[in-house]
Amino acid sequence: MRLALHAEWTKMRTVASALWLLLGTVAAMVALSAVAASVVNCTASGCGGDTTKLSLMGVYIGQALVAILAVLIISGEYSSGMIRTTLTAMPRRATAFTAKAITLTGVVAVSGTVAVLGSVLAGRLILPDLGDQALSLSDGRTLRAVFGTVLYLILIGLLSLGIATAVRDSATSIGIVLGLLYIVPIITQTISDPDWQRLLGKIAPMSAGLTIQATTDLGNLPISPWAGLGVTAGWATAALLAGGLLLRTRDA
């Protein structure tokens, strides 16, 4: 496993697109969060909403870049034919796949942490009149939202890796992942039945997972924060199992 991890890390750090996507994730998340915080209408009594979630709004664009990175890690090898070299050097396909997942988890954890902390800092700087407590990491709910958002980004990366391994094609994989993340919530809003809306909110990977960011009005959520993140984890696990099984059973 050590050699497999070294090989995957070497491939990732020597590909320019991976570095730019990671840097783009940090920049995009902090920038969008800063813009969201700057345009909100605040009064002395507050901003009329969840300021922690507002400061973490950049995740809506950051997750797309993480998904693209995860897809390219495996589908790029299929398109170039390098996957044959990878599997020849590491005949145990499960080991090779696990190494990719661990490497992806590590880089997304680092970049995601920087992006999330930068977003919270931007919120504190732009919304200073609201007091520090709402955006203080000493507050349990805020800390849960920050830590959970990093975990969410990791899970989106693993979900994308699993789908890309199963599908192989970059464009198709990216389309499937982004559809799951963005189109399903849009469809949910077009449904008039509130029970169906609540059900889709509980099972969609983004809608459920991002409940981890909520720090106010928790009783009105379709699913509790940690349970919602567990739903996203279930999606990621299913995708990884499907991708790993197909990798082992079919030709490269």
The answer on pLDDT for 131 being more than 70 is no
**Residue range 84-109: mean pLDDT, rounded:** 84
Which among 47-51, 126-130, 208-212 has the top mean pLDDT?
Answer: 208-212
Query: d(Cα 67, Cα 74) in Å, to the nearest integer?
Result: 12
Alpha helices in the chain (DSSP H): 2-13, 16-39, 51-55, 59-80, 82-89, 93-126, 140-167, 170-178, 184-190, 194-203, 205-209, 225-249
**Residue range 16-34: mean pLDDT, rounded:** 91
137-147: pLDDT as tens digits: 777 888 999 99
216-248: pLDDT as tens digits: 878 788 899 999 999 999 999 999 999 989 888
**Residue range 109-120: mean pLDDT, rounded:** 95
Q: What is the pLDDT of residue 132?
A: 47
The rounded Cα 37 to chain-centroid distance in angstroms is 21
151-197: pLDDT as tens digits: 999 999 999 999 999 998 899 999 999 999 998 888 887 887 788 87
* pLDDT band of 133, cuts 50, 70, 90: very low
Count Cα neighbours of 25 within 13 Å in the Cβ-side half-sphere: 31
Query: d(Cα 148, Cα 137) in Å, to the nearest integer?
Result: 13
**Beta-carbon count within 10 A of 75 CB:** 24
> What average pLDDT does the chain have?
86
Query: d(Cα 29, Cα 77) in Å, to the nearest integer?
Result: 28
233, 155 contact by CB (below 8 A): yes
The rounded Cα 170 to chain-centroid distance in angstroms is 18
Query: d(Cα 218, Cα 52) in Å, to the nearest integer?
Result: 13
Angle (deg, nearest 10), helices 82-89 and 93-126: 110
Angle (deg, nearest 10), helices 225-249 and 140-167: 20
Q: What is the pLDDT of residue 236?
A: 97
